[in-house]
Structure 1
Amino acid sequence: MKHKRNFKALEKRRLKGAKLLSQGKSQSAVARELGVARQTVATWAHRLAEGGKGSLKRGNLGRPRHLESSQEQELGKLLMAGALAAGYPTELWTLPRIGKVIAERFGVQYSVGHLWRLLRRLGFSCQKPEKRALQRNEPEIARCKRHGWPALKTKPSEKAAASSSSTNPA
């Protein structure tokens, strides 16, 4: 398993290198003192000259998000309003439908495979709709359970017939 880096320690080392460079030490001397390559110190010196000490601090790792937090909240409200409100014929949200809504509303394309990460971050989970017939008649089913089912249930007879099994003690 890959070991985790201590990003705070790395940032502290970069800032210490900046301090040594500002004291007038050569790049090779700073590299030897901190145990890094000269090219690394040269990169630090370039970033320090371009943007100051703030440029040596660690930024966000990974790709930047495509949707801002306000847009993500708006997307959450759109999804909670339902697929019917978004113009779809059924209430079922699918990943392709959500991707299409995001593309139309915010102008951002997400792959179908990545949409679930966005949805999980927004607090949604995978759901499967119940499979029930559209013709289902709930009052008739309730009546049948109340009146028809008890009549169909059979009770065992008082005394069971003798068994021919040699292991049965009866």
Structure 2
Amino acid sequence: MRYPQGGGLTPERQVFRERIRLEAAARFAAGESNAEVAKDLRVSVRSVQRRRRAWLGVGTEGLRSAGPVSQPRLSEALFAVPEQELAKGPVAHRWPDQPWTPTRIRTLIGRRFHKSLTLSAIARMLHRRGFSHQVPARRAVERDEEAVAGWVKETWPQVEGPWRRSTPGCASRTKPDSR
């Protein structure tokens, strides 16, 4: 089974599936039909046919798990290098403003390690290592607090509209007519 967002089976699930395949190999040796094996193991007949062909060609070893599909793209030791580069800030890497974005981090990793990572993989990798979204530490210099306070008091109530209150005379609270 393939997962479109780079996911995969957990190690526990891989062991479970390998155990199912090895049980199927024992049933193949006992001479059971594909339909019987599929029904008992709760898998598709097509899958059993594919596993039987592998078992006939290579034997039981052909049904063993090959391990994880892929290793992490950047190991813990290798991640120390981009972490140091991230600490220097984007301006040190010739970007004109301060925020680090996943696209900039992908470019940095590509330049440094010649590896291409998806933006979601970069976001997951950073989150696992304790990084979070950047939030500006200060407000903009141009911000006028008096104008903001006036807008909140005068304009916002008009935009928001009146609150609907539930009162005893409200239609949802009246007794049904006894006609």
Aligned to 1:117: 124
- Of residues 100, 105, 110 in structure 2, which corresponds to 1:98? 105
Name the CA shift for 1:77/1:31 in 2 (closer, same or farther; >3 Å): same
> Larger C-alpha radius of gyration, 1 or 2?
1
- Asked whether the equivalents of residues 99 and 109 of structure 1 are also in contact (C-alpha less than 8 Å), the reply is yes
Match of 2:23 in 1: 16
Residue identity opposite 1:103 in structure 2 = G
Conserved 8 A contact 2:21-2:63 = no
Shift in Å, 1:50: 4.4
Tell me the CA shift for residue 32 of structure 1. 4.8
The structure-2 alpha-carbon separation of the partners of 1:76 and 1:39, relative to structure 1 and needing over 3 Å to count, comes to: same
1:45 is matched with 52
The residue type paired with residue 84 of structure 2 is K
Give the partner amino acid of 2:104: R
Match of residue 67 from structure 1: 73
2:41 alignment counterpart: 34
The residue number in structure 1 matching 2:148 is: none
- Give the conservation status (yes or no) of the 8 Å contact 1:27–1:41: no
Q: For 2:124 and 2:131, how far apart are their aligned partners in 1?
A: 10
Match of 1:166 in 2: none
Indicate conservation of the 8 Å contact 1:76/1:122, yes or no: no
CA distance in 2, matches of 1:81, 1:51: 55
Secondary structure (helix, strand or coil) at the match of 2:93 reads: coil
8 Å contact kept, 1:30–1:41? yes
| 1:57 lines up with 2:65 in the alignment | yes
Aligned residues: 127
- TM-score normalized by the length of structure 2: 0.50
TM-score when scaled to structure 1? 0.52
Query: Hey, what does 1:25 align to over in structure 2?
Result: 31
Partner of 1:77: 84
- 2: CA distance between counterparts of 1:96 and 1:88? 12
**Alignment root-mean-square deviation, CA:** 3.7
What percentage of aligned pairs have identical amino acids? Answer: 27
- Is the partner of 2:115 in helix, strand or coil? coil
Asked if the contact 1:102–1:109 (Cα under 8 Å) also holds between the matched residues in 2, the reply is: yes
**Any idea what SS the aligned residue of 1:75 has?**
helix
**Contact 2:54-2:62 at 8 Å conserved across structures:** no
